[in-house]
């Protein structure tokens, strides 16, 4: 019989998602594993893959619509099934059969659209949510925009909708705010809305307010919680990397590849966790969880914020394999193609700002991970060697550790193990 496809919990703990873009259309034949849509949560935009085969019979929400986890978003049918099975599936899901326009462009690309009768509307999510305007008419607003407007106290009566049927979508809201749309004071009784600030006055003020994305809010919340609830402490070390730079050059020239310094760093981090297994842990209120392998999160900067895809079993991988996995994960993170399982887990993280010339910095731990290594740029420095002052390439690294899981002496042991590996790079080739 026809089956209901529901908004998935694409990230653990997520209660809702925004369907950024449908990658299929009604009538498409789908196999297990085919990508159906891109779904945005406060943490990431991920691809949603089909868990069953069939034909897309109905699309129930538009691109840009928000929906709670578990809300029906589409109907699949099998060969031979028709309207009767679709109607039964709709009834079972509590969906009212009527007509609504289906947006065909992603929220960021909507410029104009023509309303055409198509899929039924999910009553519980009200994809064409209505609100009264100041003239007593009705506004057609996506749930996401309605929530954002409520959070920011913005009157939507002055916003022009470019979505199907004049519906106000995310792109309209962002443009309105960036153009000087003004928040209004919301009270329990009706009040006249404040006049919107003109774009000219906003420009003359010398600033532009850029609305926070859901992911940016999530990053801010998680880092604030981490800094306030996790007892951080920091250890730094200066690592001689002359041998590493020479080995890297020789390997890259011999193999015709481009293994980065960061690939060597990630490998050294993993080997140090194997050398000091008591540091390869995460804290919980009930127990300390110690891992048998090194799963390392790699900080990747994107336009939307910081992603941390996790590379699994780094201790068992070659430098070439590490490089391939990091490059692939970083590319998909920047294009919004990262998957749920790729940004969860790990006991340790690496963040590298050396490519920007940053000499030294400290980083905030991303719970439940117990440590993060901040890597600066290698630079020529004067060092004393056998009583003589010589010039060496030195890279400063700073370990941020969770004192609940890793105490000072243990952190020092781990950092020493890391330094031994990074300063003896040939051992990492074996």
- Active-site residue set: 403
- CB of 417 closer than 8 Å to CB of 392: no
Q: What does the alpha-carbon distance between residue 173 and residue 159 come to, in Å, rounded to a whole number? A: 7
Q: What does the alpha-carbon distance between residue 34 and residue 22 come to, in Å, rounded to a whole number? A: 12
Q: Please report the beta strands in 50-185, taking only residues with DSSP state E, as ranges in sequence order.
A: 54-59, 66-68, 72-77, 129-132, 138-141
Q: What does the alpha-carbon distance between residue 287 and residue 47 come to, in Å, rounded to a whole number? A: 34
The DSSP bridge pattern shows strands 288-290 and 310-311 to be: unpaired
Residue 417's alpha-carbon distances to 167, 269, 286, 375, in angstroms, are 59, 9, 29, 16
3-state secondary structure of 410: helix
- CB of 94 closer than 8 Å to CB of 87: no
Q: What does the alpha-carbon distance between residue 231 and residue 169 come to, in Å, rounded to a whole number? A: 42
How many other CB atoms are there within 10 angstroms of residue 326's CB atom? 21
Q: What would the DSSP string read from start to end of 228-273?
A: HHS-EEEEEEEEE-HHHHHHHHHHHHHHT----HHHHHHHHHHHHH
Q: What does the alpha-carbon distance between residue 208 and residue 206 come to, in Å, rounded to a whole number? A: 7
Sequence-ordered list of residues with C-beta below 8 angstroms from that of 321, at least 6 positions apart, any chain: none
Sequence-ordered list of residues with C-beta below 8 angstroms from that of 183, at least 6 positions apart, any chain: 152, 153, 154, 194
| Cis, bond preceding 368 (omega within 30 deg of 0) | yes
CB half-sphere exposure, 48, CA atoms < 13 A: 26
Q: Would you call 304 exposed, middle or buried from its count of C-beta atoms within 10 A (0-12, 13-18, 19+)?
A: middle
By residue count, the chain amounts to 430
From 195, 133, 128, select the one nearest 165 (Cα to Cα): 128
Q: What does the alpha-carbon distance between residue 236 and residue 218 come to, in Å, rounded to a whole number? A: 29
Q: What does the alpha-carbon distance between residue 141 and residue 148 come to, in Å, rounded to a whole number? A: 11
């Amino acid at each position: 019989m026809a089956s209901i496809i529901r908004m998935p919990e694409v990230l653990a703990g997520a209660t809702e998602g925004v369907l950024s873009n449908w990658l299929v259309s009604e009538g498409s034949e789908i196999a297990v594993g085919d990508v159906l849509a891109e779904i945005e949560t406060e943490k990431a935009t991920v691809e949603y893959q089909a868990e069953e085969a069939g034909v897309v019979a109905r699309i129930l929400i538009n691109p840009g619509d928000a929906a709670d986890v578990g809300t029906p978003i589409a109907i699949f049918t099998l060969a031979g099934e028709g309207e009767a099975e679709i109607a039964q599936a709709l009834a079972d899901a509590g969906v009212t059969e009527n007509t609504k326009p289906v947006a065909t462009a992603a929220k960021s690309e909507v410029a104009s659209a023509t309303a055409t009768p198509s899929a039924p509307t999910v009553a519980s999510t009200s994809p064409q949510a209505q609100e009264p305007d100041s003239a007593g008419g009705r506004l057609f607003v996506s749930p996401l925009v309605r929530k954002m407007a409520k959070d920011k106290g913005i009157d939507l009566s002055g916003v022009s909708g470019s979505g199907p049927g004049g519906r106000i979508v995310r792109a309209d809201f962002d443009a309105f705010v960036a153009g000087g749309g003004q928040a209004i004071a919301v009270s329990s009784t009706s009040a006249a809305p404040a006049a919107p600030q003109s774009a000219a006055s906003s420009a003359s003020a010398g600033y532009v307010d850029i609305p926070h994305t859901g992911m940016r809010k999530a990053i801010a919340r998680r880092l604030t919680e981490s800094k306030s609830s996790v007892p951080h402490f920091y250890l730094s070390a200066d690592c001689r990397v002359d041998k590493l730079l020479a080995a890297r050059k020789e390997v890259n020239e011999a193999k015709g590849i481009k293994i980065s310094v960061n690939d060597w760093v990630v490998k050294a981090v993993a080997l140090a966790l194997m050398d000091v297994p008591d540091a390869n842990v995460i804290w919980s209120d009930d127990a300390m969880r110690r891992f048998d392998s090194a799963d390392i999160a790699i900080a990747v900067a994107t336009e939307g914020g910081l992603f941390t895809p996790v590379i699994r079993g780094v201790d068992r991988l070659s430098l070439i394999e590490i490089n391939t996995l990091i490059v692939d994960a970083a590319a998909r993170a920047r294009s919004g193609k990262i998957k749920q399982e790729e940004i969860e887990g790990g006991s340790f993280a690496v963040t590298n700002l050396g490519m920007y010339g940053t000499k030294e910095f400290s980083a905030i731990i991303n719970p439940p991970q117990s440590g993060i290594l901040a890597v600066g740029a290698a630079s020529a420095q004067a060092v004393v060697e056998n009583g003589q002052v010589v010039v060496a390439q030195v890279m400063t690294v700073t370990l941020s550790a969770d004192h609940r899981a890793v105490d000072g002496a243990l952190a020092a042991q781990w950092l020493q193990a890391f330094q031994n590996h990074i300063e003896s790079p040939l051992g990492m080739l074996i």
